[in-house]
Each structure stands twice: as C-alpha cells, then as structure tokens.
Structure 1
C-alpha cells in the first residue's frame, strides 16, 4: 500500500495517458504515437524513479494541463448556449486538467528533496 501511494502521481498520469491512447485507438482507430511514448516514459519512470525524468515530465505535463484548461474553456464558449453537454464538457475537461496538474505538482514535490 505504501509503495502504491509513493507512485500515486505516476499512476494517475499513466492512467490518463492510457485512457488517451485507448480512446484514440478504439474511438477513431488511430495509433497515437505521442500518447504511446508518454505511456512508455511513465512506465520507465515507475520502474526506475529517475528524478530528472520526473522533473521533465512534471514540467511538460503542467504546461500541457494549463494549455488544456484554455482549450476546454474555448470549446465551452463554442456552444451557443449553456446546455448539459456544455457543462459536462467543462466539468470533465477541467477535472482531467486538474488531475494532470495535481499529479505533476506531486511529482515535483516527491523528488524535490532528492534534487538538492
């Protein structure tokens, strides 16, 4: 249990990237090589716990999650009126963005004492 809690940020990010990959694979029959690469890097990170990869991943994922917040808000404003679908897009999209940002923050917090 303690081991699972120690790799919780990586597991959350791995879950999100796996969902991203499988949604592309089964949803539109597209092999998303970027999502696959992110999954492989996260698996590598879970196995080896490299602090430099952790900081690189955390930086990229936090920037990507901030970008995605703006993308979700932009998509929300494309709806002509506030409907249940628009609210669902906003709530689920922002939840995913929050999970990514929180995981990247936890990843930095976890490896910060090891860097200095």
Structure 2
C-alpha cells in the first residue's frame, strides 16, 4: 500500500504533462514534444526509481511550479473581468500549490531512499 502511494507525485506530474500535450495539440495543432518527453521520463522513473533522476525531476518540477504560481498571481490585475480573474487565479493557485507539494514530496522520497550497489546493478529500496 505504501508503494502505491509513493508514486502519486510522478502520476500527478504525468497527468499535468499529458494535459499540457493535449492542450497544445488542440490549441496549436502540433505535438508538444517537450511535454511528451517530461511525461515519458516520469513514466520511466516510476519503474526504474533512479535516485539522482528523482531528485533532479522533483527539484526542477517544484521550481517550475513556484515560478508558475508567481506568474499566475502576478497576472491577476491584468485580466479585465473580475469573475474570470478570480476563477483563473484560484485555479492556478490550487493547481500549482499542489504541484509544489508534489515536488517537495518527490524530493523527500528520493532523499530518504537507500542505495544498494551490487556489482553493475543499481537498485533503490524504500
């Protein structure tokens, strides 16, 4: 049960990556390969559980979420309709606050892991 809940941050970011891919395809009519790459790397991370990659992904995605949270809150006054501004700002704050928490959880998970070296095989245990 604990292992199933351990992949929630990766699944959350994979869902955001898939949403980003689909949104880009319908808005621009082209495939967003960067979003697909991020989603694929997180998918591989679920199976291989590389400690260094997990720390890098968690830090990068958490930092990007902080940036996006600041961007969403700074654009509140630029929107003309107050109701649209409140809804989009509230949605952005909730979404990117959750993403920050998932990034922190991902970093915390991979900081706590124990690395076992066995000749040429690198495994991670929890």
Same-fold status (TM-score > 0.5): yes
Q: Which has the larger radius of gyration?
A: 2
Extract unaligned runs of 5+ from structure 1. Answer: none
Kindly indicate whether structure 1 or structure 2 has the higher relative contact order, using CA contacts under 8 Å at least 6 residues apart.
1
Q: 2:35 and 2:45 mapped to 1: Cα distance?
A: 15
Q: How many residues align?
A: 115
Q: 2:98 and 2:19 mapped to 1: Cα distance?
A: 13
Describe how 1:8-87 pairs up with structure 2 within 5 A.
Answer: 8-80=8-80, 83-87=82-86
Which has the larger share of strand? Answer: 2
1:95 deviates by 1.5
Extract unaligned runs of 5+ from structure 2. Answer: 116-126
Q: 2:111 and 2:48 mapped to 1: Cα distance?
A: 16
TM-score, scaled relative to structure 1: 0.89
Whether 2:56 is the aligned partner of 1:92: answer no
Is the deviation greater in 54-63 or in 23-32? Answer: 23-32
Whether the 8 Å contact between 1:12 and 1:99 is mirrored in structure 2 is no
Which has the larger share of helix? Answer: 1
Stretches (4+) displaced over 2 A: 1-4
